[in-house]
Amino acid sequence: MTTLSAALGQAILDRAAGLARHSDMEDGLTCAYLTPAHRATQAQLAQWMEEAGMRVRIDAIGNVVGRYEADPAVAEPRVLLTGSHFDTVRNGGRYDGRLGILLPIAVAGALHASGRRLPYHLDVAAFAEEEGLRFKTSFLGSSVLAGRFDPALLERRDADGITLRQALADSGLPGGGDPEALRAAAIDPQSLLGYIEVHIEQGPVLLHQGLPLGVVTQIAGNSRFLVNVEGQAGHAGTTPMNLRRDAAAAAAEMVLLVERRCRQAPTLVGTVGQLHVPNGSGNVIPGACQFTMDIRAGEDRLRDAAVADILAGIEEIAQRRGVKIQLDRVTPVANTPCARRLMDQLAAALKKRGLPVHELPSGAGHDAMMMHRITDVAMLFVRCGNGGISHNPLETITAEDAQLACEVFADFLKDFSA
Ligand code: HGY
Ligand code: MN
Ligand code: MN
Ligand code: MN
CA 303 to chain centroid, in Å, comes to 19
Residue 117 contacts by C-beta under 8 Å, 6 or more apart in sequence?
Answer: 69, 70, 71, 72, 111
Pairing of strands 192-200, 324-333: unpaired
Q: What is the whole-number distance in angstroms between the Cα of residue 152 and the centre of ligand 1?
A: 22
Pairing of strands 79-85, 192-200: parallel
Tell whether ligand 1 has an atom less than 6 A from the beta carbon of residue 364.
yes
CB 67 within 8 A of CB 49: no
Percent with pLDDT over 90 in the chain = 98
Paired strand residues for 230? 288, 324
Cα 235 from Cα 285, distance rounded (Å): 6
Mutate which of 131, 136, 201, 370 to test ligand 1's pocket (most atoms within 8 Å of Cβ)?
Answer: 131
Ordered by start, the domain boundaries in the chain are: 8-220+336-415, 221-333
208 known member of a binding site: no
Cβ atoms within 10 Å, residue 111: 20
Instruction: Judge if pTM exceeds 0.80.
Output: yes
Q: Of 283, 287, 285, 305, nearest to 295 (Cα)?
A: 305
CA angle, 407 then 410 then 413, to 5°: 150
Cβ atoms within 10 Å, residue 72: 8
pLDDT digits (tens, 9 = 90+) for 159-193: 999 999 999 999 999 999 999 999 999 999 999 99
CB 291 within 8 A of CB 276: yes
Cα 194 from Cα 141, distance rounded (Å): 17
| CB-proximal residues (5 Å) to ion ligand 2 | 96
283 known member of a binding site: yes
Q: What is the whole-number distance in angstroms between the Cα of residue 303 and the centre of ligand 3?
A: 21
Tell whether ligand 1 has an atom less than 6 A from the beta carbon of residue 24.
no
Model confidence at 66, pLDDT cuts 50, 70, 90, reads very high
Cα 243 from Cα 113, distance rounded (Å): 74
pLDDT value of position 331: 87
Tell whether ligand 1 has an atom less than 6 A from the beta carbon of residue 131.
yes
96 known member of a binding site: yes
CA angle, 320 then 322 then 328, to 5°: 100
Rounded mean pLDDT, 356-371: 97
Q: Of 401, 412, 293, 405, nearest to 349 (Cα)?
A: 412
Atom 4 of ligand 1, residue of closest alpha carbon? 365
Architecture of domain 221-333: 2-Layer Sandwich (3.30)
Q: Examine the pLDDT at 1 and tell me if it is beyond 90.
A: no
Q: Of 16, 67, 82, nearest to 44 (Cα)?
A: 16
CATH superfamily of 8-220+336-415: Zn peptidases (3.40.630.10)
Q: With the C-alpha atoms ordered 104, 105, 110, 115, is the resulting torsion angle positive or negative? A: positive
Q: What is the whole-number distance in angstroms between the Cα of residue 390 and the centre of ligand 1?
A: 10
CB 71 within 8 A of CB 121: no
199 known member of a binding site: yes
pLDDT digits (tens, 9 = 90+) for 332-342: 999 999 999 99
Distance between start and end Cα atoms, the chain: 19
ipTM value for the complex = 0.90
pLDDT digits (tens, 9 = 90+) for 299-308: 999 999 999 9
